[in-house]
Amino acid sequence: MTEPVAAVEIEGVTKRFDDVVAVDNVDLAIDDGEFFALLGPSGCGKTTTLRMIAGLDLPTQGSLRIFGEEVGMAPPDRRPVNTVFQAYALFPHMTVRQNIEFGLRMRRVKDPELSQRVAEAIGMVRLAGMEERRPDQLSGGQQQRVALARALVNQPKVLLLDEPLGALDLKLRQEMQQELKALQREVGITFVFVTHDQEEALAMSERIGVMSEGRLLQVGSPREIYERPSSRFVADFIGRTNLIEATVESSGTVRLANGVVIEAETSAPAGSDVAVSLRPERIRVQSRGAGVSAGASLDGEVGDVTYLGHAVVYAVTAGPTLVEVRNEGEVGEPFAVGDEVTVSWDHGAAAVIAE
Ligand SMILES: Nc1ncnc2c1ncn2[C@@H]1O[C@H](COP(=O)(O)OP(=O)(O)O)[C@@H](O)[C@H]1O
Ligand SMILES: [Mg+2]
């Protein structure tokens, strides 16, 4: 059996701008039809990676294939991709319809194909009835949809989206996230979605690639990235976590910095220095001496209490370790600053990080 060909395949790709290494030896394969997010803090190389896929930047080194065809040095218009940028770059003096059909007119596509493709794109992004408006007569979300339609009308095989929702306020942003996800399922083409917002990446994508300082650190499903981060950077960047320094005792146990030995799976050799990542919502807090039913525990003292409505967050000092505990859906505040407590978790909640 032959492997299905990847929509985008990046192999050993590096991009240098003078002395800045913007993208550092990245290998990545994105599947046909996948919703893939490139996630990382500002300046980590996301846009540069996307621009190399689009042909707007050329790699300094490495190879880049789109559906099996080498395109590393091909100009943008020779690639079956389109890009949607955060600044939608709509033509302000043109109507919605004119904005959307612009690319097709440039390529001399004529009626009836022209009208049919424009009508299809308008239908996809639910802008029917707004064809004659100008961009300044549209909301931010509607402008975003015009930008999407303008890309989709070209029938790309891969759609590249560079922080397309960055300019929208939170509520609209969340609505557009759901819309984009539904749209991607409907059209079935590969989406490569760049964002620095980890919640957005978790909520939208089938797989996420986490970047830092030009390097691709980890690729996996949202669940894998969140529950089994492979590095301290990923553990800390995706959601909140407690990173506790530890040393491996055996393949099933590690010794925390405060001397407590806990169960945790790891393939790192005995004696290696590692970190244990414990998500705050996987930790319980109880009065000292209430009896811990299973798993591992630490005794400590409540140092801070933060009420968030849907959750209460406790900062618990346990020896040299400060543990953040998040109790979701808890009614009231049973613990106060200074209370002596025990924090505990199930063995499976502790993820060992070797780098
Ligand atoms: N045209 C350019 N010239 C020089 N440096 C650049 C250029 N484009 C990007 N960079 C640098 O490359 C790094 C990665 O940038 P970028 O890909 O835009 O990151 P991100 O999109 O993740 O914020 C940054 O250090 C940035 O300053
Ligand atoms: Mg960017």
Q: What is the pLDDT of residues 242-282, one digit of tens each?
A: 999 999 998 889 998 878 889 888 889 999 999 999 999 99
Q: Please report the pLDDT score of residue 329 as a whole number.
A: 67
Could you tell me the distance, in angstroms and rounded to a whole number, from the CA of residue 81 to the centre of ligand 1? 21
82 Cβ below 6 A of ligand 1 = no
- Asked if 136 contacts 58 with a C-beta cutoff of 8 angstroms, the reply is no
Q: Is the pLDDT at 199 greater than 70, yes or no?
A: yes
At 89, the pLDDT band (50, 70, 90 cuts) reads confident
Buried b (16+ CB within 10 A) or exposed e, 275-314: bbbbbbbbbbbbeeeeebeebbbbbbebeeeeeeeeebbb
At 91, the pLDDT band (50, 70, 90 cuts) reads very high
Please compute the mean of the pLDDT values over residues 34-39 and round it to a whole number. 98
Residue nearest to atom 3 of ligand 1 (CA): 17
Q: How far apart are CA 97 and CA 101, in angstroms?
A: 6
- What mean pLDDT value characterizes the chain? 91
Q: What is the pLDDT of residue 152?
A: 93
Percentage of the chain beyond pLDDT 70 is 97
Distance CA 99, CA 93 (A): 9
For the CA of 15, the nearest atom of ligand 1: 12
Res. 86: pLDDT tops 80: no
Q: What element of type H or E holds 222?
A: helix 222-227
- pLDDT for the residue numbered 237: 95
Surface-to-core class of residue 213, CB atoms within 10 Å of its CB (0-12 exposed, 13-18 middle, 19+ buried): middle
- With a 6 A CB cut-off, is 46 part of the ligand 1 pocket? yes
What the chain holds in terms of domains, given with CATH numbers, is: 8-232 (3.40.50.300), 240-353 (2.40.50.140)
Nearest residue CA, atom 26 of ligand 1? 43
Higher pLDDT, residue 332 or 298: 298
Residue whose CA is closest, atom 6 of ligand 1? 17
pLDDT category, 330, cuts 50, 70, 90? low
Instruction: Please give the span between the terminal C-alpha atoms of the chain, in angstroms, as a whole number.
Output: 36
Which atom, in ligand 1's list, is nearest to the CA of 18? 4
Q: Sign of dihedral through CA atoms 261, 266, 267, 272?
A: negative
Q: Is the pLDDT of residue 166 over 60?
A: yes
Among 248, 245, 269, 270, residue whose Cα is nearest residue 258: 245
- CA 140 centroid distance within chain: 23
pLDDT of residue 331: 54
pLDDT tens across 8-24, in order? 999 999 999 999 999 99
Q: Ligand 1 pocket check: which of 14, 15, 16, 17 to mutate, most ligand atoms within 8 Å of Cβ? A: 17
